[in-house]
Amino acid sequence: MSITLKVRSPLPTTTNYEPIPNCNRAQIIVKSPSICKYLKPIARSGATFFCRSSTTTPVFLSDAGRNMVLEEFDPEIPLQEAMTPPSSWYTQPSFFHLELERVFYREWQAVGYTEQIENSMDFFTGRLGNVEFVVCRDADGNLQAHHNVCRHRASPLASGTGKKSCFVCPYHGWTYGLDGSLQKATRTTGIRNFQENDFGLVPIKVATWGPLVLINLDKHKSSDRRNDHRKAAHGEVDDVGMEWLGNSLLVLGNIGIDSTSFRHVRRREYPMECNWKVYCDNYLDGDYHVPFVHKGLTASLNLASYSVTNFDKVSVQACETATTTTGGNDNYRMGSKALYAFVYPNFTIARYGPWLETNLVLPVSPGKCVVVFDYFLEASRLKEKGFVDRSLEESHKIQVEDIEVCEAVQKGLESPAYRRGRYAPAAEEALYRFHSSLHNSLSQPSI
């Protein structure tokens, strides 16, 4: 394959390139990350190149390079013929930052649960990408969310969870109400052109759905606030369900996921050495990996009954549990049927037996994420300690198996031997739709 490169200046003589054989498009592996700055996109049809290090050294791409990485996946190609996104989607720092900006800072994120802010003055904090946030219930019972950054010199104000009547900055003592208003700026005598009203905490949109608390960092998103002007004034959003779950809302509502009768039992956080999408991909391939990776779980499922229903923002996998030797269906943990919903872009809701289990996949860096598991149980089963412990242990075992395979996949994605794969159409349509949705989000212009 002959390839023309336009270069801005002579390339270092030690650098070499190699074309990848049998590719649809002209592609080049750049063996030294340091030369990427010398390369310029070639604007002729059918030709593109991308930077890829043969080491694990991260490479920052220009905007044009980043867009070319994005366009390496083409959602117009049907599933049966499509290639998976290139491995650079899972390794490139600049692509990761694009995801933060165009996906995570624009979509609703289920960052907590209602019991954390059940009473006035309860609060919890968290981090999403580079955003520190705090969610609280003010003295009047209004739900509030703010950027957890002091307006003086940027110290975070609160940490962890608990109860507070106001936020006092630990650095120099500026004090904010739970509604975010600046109440006291210490030692500002002599300051000019300063209005305390202009220095309140930066608000974030917040909402609840069933037992979940959601935030949305998109300043420009319009939300339906017609029903409650009091809430609107404080940033709380009504009717988030439709905006968050789209046309899957009825289905998920019908199986009790939105019920407020669940009680929170346990939170577990699993740091993982893989890109956040590796975990989501793994979740979405459903019954494809289960027989290979989760032998114990396989025995308790009737995989022949496995079905996947794709909605616009949600993919729902359903599976009956295996019948016992006596023909019964009394799986102690899962009941007769399990349902696994993946909510674009990074949240899962599993409903089985008396359990509601959620996973929030938090991006940390191109090669790291944290998966936050929250377990909710029907209130009537809360006292069954043996059952609770056994169920949680079983779930933990499955997660350990998933961690092992996901971290191994990340290593494979970083290998120069792997570029892109193919989809198994009968098992991986949800995965293909996830990648297509991402492509769509990432193609939206910056605001």
Contacts with Fe ion by CB under 5 A lie at 402
Which C-beta is closer to ligand FES: that of 156 or that of 241? 156
Contact partner at residue 150 from ligand FES, Fe ion, none, CB < 5 to 8 Å by partner kind: ligand FES
Cβ burial, residue 431 (10 Å; 0-12/13-18/19+): buried
Spatial CB neighbours of 62, under 8 Å, sequence gap ≥ 6: none
Which C-beta is closer to Fe ion: that of 100 or that of 322? 322
- Site residues (vs ligand FES, CB under 6 A): 150, 152-153, 155, 169, 171-174
Phi, psi of 439 (to 5 degrees): -55, -40
Min dist CB 127 to ligand FES, Å, is 18
From CA 68, how far away is CA 418, in angstroms rounded? 18
Contact partner at residue 155 from ligand FES, Fe ion, none, CB < 5 to 8 Å by partner kind: ligand FES
Q: Which of 262, 244, 257, 274 is nearest to 371 (CA)?
A: 274
Phi, psi of 349 (to 5 degrees): -130, 120
DSSP string, 268-325: EEEEESS-HHHHHHHHHTGGGTHHHH-HHHHHHEEEEEEEEEE-SSEEEEEEEEPPPT
Phi, psi of 385 (to 5 degrees): -60, -40
Contact partner at residue 402 from ligand FES, Fe ion, none, CB < 5 to 8 Å by partner kind: Fe ion
Maximum C-alpha span of the chain: 83
Q: In what order do the strands lie in the sheet with 166-168?
A: 166-168, 175-177, 182-184
Q: Both tokens of residue 243?
A: 């905006």
Contact partner at residue 171 from ligand FES, Fe ion, none, CB < 5 to 8 Å by partner kind: ligand FES
Task: Find out whether 95 and 365 touch, Cβ atoms under 8 Å.
Answer: no
Please name the amino acid found at residue 110: A
Which C-beta is closer to ligand FES: that of 157 or that of 206? 157
Which C-beta is closer to Fe ion: that of 99 or that of 402? 402
In the bound state, the residue with its beta carbon closest to Fe ion is 402
Task: Find out whether 387 and 355 touch, Cβ atoms under 8 Å.
Answer: no
Contact partner at residue 153 from Fe ion, ligand FES, none, CB < 5 to 8 Å by partner kind: ligand FES
Which C-beta is closer to ligand FES: that of 157 or that of 341? 157
Min dist CB 96 to Fe ion, Å, is 23
Contact partner at residue 332 from ligand FES, Fe ion, none, CB < 5 to 8 Å by partner kind: none
Min dist CB 77 to Fe ion, Å, is 27
Which C-beta is closer to Fe ion: that of 263 or that of 294? 294
Min dist CB 289 to Fe ion, Å, is 6
Phi, psi of 226 (to 5 degrees): -65, -30
Which C-beta is closer to Fe ion: that of 49 or that of 340? 340
Min dist CB 293 to Fe ion, Å, is 6
Which C-beta is closer to ligand FES: that of 3 or that of 154? 154
Min dist CB 250 to Fe ion, Å, is 27
Min dist CB 311 to Fe ion, Å, is 21
Min dist CB 395 to Fe ion, Å, is 11
Phi, psi of 238 (to 5 degrees): -90, 165
